[in-house]
Amino acid sequence: MRRDLLNSALAVLVLTVVLGLAYPLATTGVARLLFPGSSGGSLVERGGRTVGSRLIAQSFAGLPRYFQSRPSATGYAADATSFDNLGPNSAALRRALAANMRTYLRREGSYDRALTRSAVPVDAVTFSGSGVDPQISVANARIQAHRVAAARGLPLRAVLDLIVHHTEGRGLGLFGEPGVNVLALNLALDEGGRR
């Protein structure tokens, strides 16, 4: 017993240094060397100023010239993430989702005349898991393209092409789902499509 206590106390010290400091710090060093961009947060700059991370959604609410991110239950907080956590039979969730649906139809309906409620993709009106989901579905982006094209005076075709260009496919063409990176797409619009 005493022997176990001594060995274990030494193990606490030694393993904390090896696994808790040496391992993460060595990983940090090698990661910075090999992947300087992604290890630091995949930051995106414009005009020498950081304006976001390619991996973190931001709010574009109220700005029709931009593609809109998925609804966030946390106000796009990237330092206090949380699930929405309302259950599958939650009346409060039904109300929140119905409100998201109304907002979406009101925002896009006057630009995409053919838009019906059943054509609204589910990702556009549900809260994302992280609250900072950087992507929207391709179907969602193609609907929003009508509004963005009108707001920027661009041909719809050009905006749809830009969506194709900023669609991130499945991993190895197989894993997960394709999605459109909203921040990258909006930055590209600002660069090429500014009137």
By CB under 8 A, the residues from 64 to 123 that bind another protein are 66, 70, 76-95, 97-98, 100-101, 117-123
What strands, in cross-sheet order, belong to the sheet with 167-168?
Answer: 135-136, 179-181, 167-168
Per rule CB under 8 A, is residue 144 in the interface with another protein?
Answer: no
Which residue lies nearer to another protein by CB, 66 or 111?
66
Among 107, 160, 188, 190, binds another protein (CB under 8 A): 190
Neighbours of 183 (CB within 10 A): 23
Query: Tokens in use for 47?
Result: 């005009």
Among 145, 146, 162, 186, binds another protein (CB under 8 A): 186
Per rule CB under 8 A, is residue 188 in the interface with another protein?
Answer: no
Query: Tokens in use for 68?
Result: 């809109």
Q: Identify residues 8-27 at the interface with another protein (CB under 8 A).
A: 8-12, 14-16, 19-21, 23-27
| H or E segment to which residue 127 belongs | none
Which residue lies nearer to another protein by CB, 35 or 157?
35
Region of 107-115, 134-142, 146-154 interacting with another protein (CB under 8 A): 134-142
- By CB atoms closer than 10 A (0-12, 13-18, 19+), residue 156 is middle
Region of 60-68, 107-115, 150-158 interacting with another protein (CB under 8 A): 60-68
Which residue lies nearer to another protein by CB, 20 or 155?
20
Three-state DSSP class for 184? helix
- Tell me if 86 sits within 8 A of 92, measured CB to CB: yes
Residues whose CB is less than 8 angstroms from the CB of residue 16 and which lie 6 or more positions away in sequence, other chains included:
none
